[in-house]
A and B are shown apart, each in its own frame.
Chain A
C-alpha cells in the first residue's frame, strides 16, 4: 500500500528580495565565492544559430516594473534539441546549454538575454511546437515561480499550428505570449496582473 501513498512536493516559498545572494552573487558585487554566476552567459563564438537579444520588463498590477525579479529561460538549440539527458533524440549543440539566468536591472527593471533563436520542437501526437523560449520568474511577492513562454512574431504559420497557443480559449490573450521584434532584438514584456495579464502556464 505504501507505493500508493506518494510523497507531496515540498511547498514553494517566495525567493524574496535577496535571491541574488545565492543565485547570482557576482551581480550584486559579492565576489570571491563563485567565479562566475551560473547561466549568465548563454552563447560563445562556437554556438550554432542565429544570435538574438531577448529583453523586457515585468510589470506588477499597477504597471510598475519589478526591480528585484530573477528570470530563468530554457530553450532548444538551433536544431530543436535540448541540452538535457532527458532529450534522447540526438546530441544538442555542446556550445549551447539552453539555459540562462538573469536578474532584472535594479534601477530600470529591464532583463536582457543574449541567446540564439531555437528551432521548433515536437509536440504530443505527432504535432509540432512553434519555436519558443520557456520562462520561469521568481521574486519577492511571488509565492510559486511563474511559468510562461515567449514565441516569435515572424513565425506566424508555426504559431497558428502550435498546440499550446491553440489551447488558449480567450484568443485575445494569445498576443501576450508573442514578442515584438526589431531586427535581432525581441522585446517580451510580462504583465503579472491586470488588463494585459500574460498567460501563465501550469506546466
Chain B
C-alpha cells in the first residue's frame, strides 16, 4: 500500500491478439454472435474509468462457501472438496482491492442448477453452484467449493467441456469488467475444448489453468487450487479531462 490516492489514469488498451477473437467458428454459437465490423477505439473517458464498487455489507455469511450455502442444515455438497484462492492483480502487478468476484459452476457430476440444463446427470440437492466474495486490501480472495465435473454440450457431435468454474470480476472502472473461466491443472479436456481454443496463445490458456496448491490444502478436509486473475492496468497519470468542465 503506497498511497490511498484515487487512480484516474486511462486503461491500457486491450490486447486483442491475446484475448479471444469474436468470430471463432469452431465454437459454433460465435458465428452469428460476432460483430463483423471493427470496434470503435475509444480513449478512456470518465464513463470508462469509473465503475461500481461494492462494499462487504452485500456479503452473506456463507456467500464464499458453495459447499454449504445451498445445503440443508448439517449437510454439505457432494464432491471433491476444494479451496480456490489467489489474488486479483492489474497488469502492473498491483493488487486490486474491493474487487467483487462472482463464481458459478456445475456440480460434481457436471450438472447445472438451471432449468435449461437437461443433462442426464442428477442435481445435488445440497449444491446451488453460485458464490461471491470481495478481495481484501492486497487483492486476495478465497472461496470453498467442490470440484465441478466435465459435461457434454451440443457443439461438435462429441464435445465435452473441461471441469471449469465461471468467474465474473469488477475492478475500479467499468472498462475492467471481465468474465472468464478457470480450468484445472492436468485436465485432458482442456486441449480439446473449442471454447478454450478461442484463445490462440498457450500461455494465455495457461493463465486460466489453476494449479494444485498442496501448501494451502486443509489436511483431512480440502485440497487447494491457486488461481490469480489479472485485470487491465492503467496509466499513472490522471486522464486528460477537465473534470470541472471549464
The interface of chain A, by Cβ under 8 A from chain B, is 6-23, 25, 28-30, 32-35, 38, 60-62, 64, 66, 68, 72, 74, 76, 82-89, 97-99, 121-126, 128-129, 132, 134, 136, 138-147, 149, 164, 167-168, 173, 192-194, 197-203
Contacts and interface: CB of A to CB of B under 8 A. Distances in A.
The secondary structure that dominates the A interface is loop
8 contacts: A10-B231, A11-B207, A13-B196, A76-B47, A84-B50, A86-B6, A122-B242, A193-B32
A88 B198 CA distance: 39
B52 A74 contact: yes
Nearest to B104: A22
A13 B195 contact: yes
B36 to A, nearest CB: 6
Interface in B1-17: 6-8, 11-16
Interface in B134-153: none
Interface string B70-96: 100000000000000000011111000
A54 to B, nearest CB: 16
Nearest to B62: A33
Interface residues of B, number: 99
Nearest to A170: B37
Given A14-B30, A60-B33, 8 more contacts: A9-B230, A9-B231, A12-B19, A18-B104, A21-B104, A141-B30, A141-B31, A203-B48
Contacts of A98: 52
By Cβ-Cβ distance, the 5 closest A-B pairs, closest first, are A22-B104, A141-B29, A141-B33, A84-B50, A99-B52
Contact of A10 (B29, B45, B177, B229): B229
B112 A84 contact: no
A202 B180 contact: no
Given A126-B242, A143-B27, A193-B33, A202 B168 contact: no
Nearest to B16: A202
Contact of B40 (A11, A34, A168): A168
B230 A193 contact: no
B18 A11 contact: yes
